[in-house]
Amino acid sequence: MRGRNSSGSSSNSSDSRVSVRWILLLCMSSFALGLLFSNRFWSVPESNTQFISRQRQDQELQVVSEDCITKTKLGQDKDVIDEVNKTHEAIQSLDKMISTLQMEVAATRSSQELTGMDGSQAMSGTNQQKKKKAFIVIGINTAFSSRKRRDSVRETWMPQGDKLQQLEKEKGIVIRFMIGHSATSNSILDRAIDSEEAQHNDFLRLEHVEGYHELSAKTKIFFSTAVAKWDAEFYIKVDDDVHVNLGMLAATLARHRSKPRVYIGCMKSGPVLSNKNVKYHEPEYWKFGEEGNKYFRHATGQIYAISKDLATYISINQPILHKYANEDVSLGAWFIGLEVEHIDEHNMCCRTPPECEWKARAGNVCIASFDWSCSGICRSVERMKYIHESVVKEMELFGVLSFDVGLWRIRGWSFYSKAGTLPLGFLRLKIEMPCK
C-alpha cells in the first residue's frame, strides 16, 4: 500500500510540473496573441482615419476642380453669349443698312420717274440738273372738278403770269396747283388740265391717280415730287378753298428757318370715329385704343408747313409710310416717333371775316382763313374775293414794317394792285441778308 502511494505521489508531481509548463506556454501565447490583436485593432482605426482624411482631401480637390471647371464653362458660355449678341447686333445693323439703301434706291427711282430721267441720264446729269433753290414751295391741293376754285385763287392771293415767276425768282416763293391724273390714260379730264396748264403754267403734275380717299397717298407723292424738283427750306400743303396771306406766311416761317425739323400748323386732336356711316370714319380705329379715344396732336389738313428735313424723310421712306383714312392724321403719324418740334400756329386757322379783321386790329394778322364748318371757305368761289379784299384792307392799316429774323431781314408788306382790279400780289416782301 505504501508502495502504491509512493508511485502515485510521483505521478502527481510530474502532472503538476507539466501543467506549470503548459500554463507558462499558454500565458506567453496569450500575451503574444494579445500583442498581435492589440496591434491589429490599434492599427485599423489609424488606417481608417488616414483613409477618411485622404478621402476628404480627394473630395475637396474634386470640388475645387469642379468649381474651376464650372467657372471655366461659365466664362466660355458668357463669351459665347457675347459673341451671339454681337452677331445679332451686326445682323440688325446690316438689316438697317440694307433697308436704308433700299429706301434710298426707291426714292432715287421715284425721283428719276418724276423728273423723266433714265438711269444713264441720272448718273451723268446729277451735277448738270441741280435742284432749284427756294425759300418756300406751296402745293395747292386741287381736283379735276375745281376749275372755278382755282380761278378764284388766281384772282386773289396767288399771283399770275410774270408776277408768279417774279415771286419765285426774287423771293424764292414757289406756288403750284398739285394734281395727279385720271384712272384712264389721256382722258378728257387730263386734257382739260393740260389745256389749263398751257394757259397758266402753274401746275405740278403728280404720278398719282386722283381720288378723294387717296389724299394720304397724294400728300406723300407731292412732298417726294417737290423735294426732287426744288431744294426749299419749307414745303407747304394748302387746300384750294383756303385764303393765304403770303406776307404773313413768309414772315412766320422765317422765324423758324434755323430749326432743322419743324411741323407747323393748327394742332388739333379730334375723336377717332369708329362709325362707318360718318364722314371721317377711321377703319383702323382699334389701333388708337378704346372706343371714344382721341387722335394724337396733328396739324389740321387745310394748311400746314414742314421743314426740308421732314419733307426729305417722307421722300426717302415713302414706300413704308402707313396711310390712314384721313390725310392729316397720316402726316401726324409719320412724325409722331421722330425728333420733331410741333409748332401750334393759331394764325394758320383764322375764321373768315369778321374774325380775321378783329385779329388784325389786335395786331395778330392771319396767315390763313377758312370756315371750320365747311373744312374750308364756305362757297369759296363766291366769297374768296370778299375775304381777300378784307385781308388787304386790314393789312394796309399797318403800313410798311421792317424787322430782322436771324440772319435775314424782312421788309414790309405794302400792297400793289392794278387800277380798278383786285390786288394781284398784295405783297411786297423783301428777304435779304442784313448789312454788316
H-type helices in 136-187, by residue range?
A: 147-154, 161-171
Residues 106 and 225 in one domain: no
The answer to the question of residue 373 being in a domain is yes
Residues 273 and 174 in one domain: yes
HEC string for 50-72:
HHHHHHHHHHHHHHHHHHHHHHH
The answer to the question of residue 409 being in a domain is no
Residues 109 and 160 in one domain: no
Residues 220 and 107 in one domain: no
Residues 85 and 233 in one domain: no
Residues 95 and 146 in one domain: no
Binned at pLDDT 50, 70 and 90, residue 420 comes out as very low
Residue 144, pLDDT > 70, answer: yes
Query: 374 is in which domain, residue-wise?
Result: 131-397
Residue 322 CA to residue 22 CA, distance in Å, equals: 119
Q: Quick one: cell of 142? A: 386741287
Residues 63 and 170 in one domain: no
Largest CA distance in the chain: 195
The answer to the question of residue 21 being in a domain is no
The answer to the question of residue 151 being in a domain is yes
The answer to the question of residue 153 being in a domain is yes
Question: Mean pLDDT of all residues in the chain?
Answer: 78
Q: Quick one: cell of 93? A: 445693323
**For the residues 269-295, what does the mean pLDDT come to?**
88
Top pLDDT among 399 and 64 is at 64
Residue 328 CA to residue 325 CA, distance in Å, equals: 9
Residue 137 CA to residue 173 CA, distance in Å, equals: 6
For residue 128, give the 3-state DSSP assignment. Answer: coil
Considering the chain, what percentage of its residues have pLDDT values greater than 90? 49
Q: Quick one: cell of 262? A: 419743324
DSSP string, 277-338: TSTT--TTGGGG-STT-BPPPEEEEEEEEEEHHHHHHHHHHGGG----SSHHHHHHHHHTTS
DSSP string, 366-408: -SEE-BGGGTB-TTHHHHHHHHHHHHHHHHHTT---EEEETTE
Residues 194 and 75 in one domain: no
Residues 167 and 108 in one domain: no
Beta carbons of 350 and 272 less than 8 angstroms apart:
no
The answer to the question of residue 105 being in a domain is yes
Top pLDDT among 253 and 81 is at 253
**Dihedral angle computed from the Cα positions of residues 207, 235, 162 and 350, in that order, rounded to the nearest 10 degrees:** 110
Beta carbons of 376 and 370 less than 8 angstroms apart:
yes
- Helices 308-317/2-115 angle, 10° precision: 110
**For the residues 234-241, what does the mean pLDDT come to?**
98
The answer to the question of residue 353 being in a domain is yes
Residue 304, pLDDT > 50, answer: yes
- Report the domain count for the chain: 2
Residues 249 and 306 in one domain: yes
Residue 364, pLDDT > 90, answer: no
The answer to the question of residue 2 being in a domain is no
CATH assignment of the domain containing 379: 3.90.550.10
pLDDT digits (tens, 9 = 90+) for 145-155: 999 999 999 99
Beta carbons of 145 and 192 less than 8 angstroms apart:
no
For residue 273, give the 3-state DSSP assignment. Answer: coil
Residues 305 and 187 in one domain: yes
**Dihedral angle computed from the Cα positions of residues 430, 428, 261 and 126, in that order, rounded to the nearest 10 degrees:** -70
Beta carbons of 163 and 425 less than 8 angstroms apart:
yes
Please state, in angstroms and as integers, the Cα–Cα distance from residue 49 to each residue in 35, 41, 60, following that order. 22, 13, 16
Residues 186 and 283 in one domain: yes
pTM above 0.85, yes or no: no
Output the pLDDT for position 230: 97
Beta carbons of 139 and 327 less than 8 angstroms apart:
no
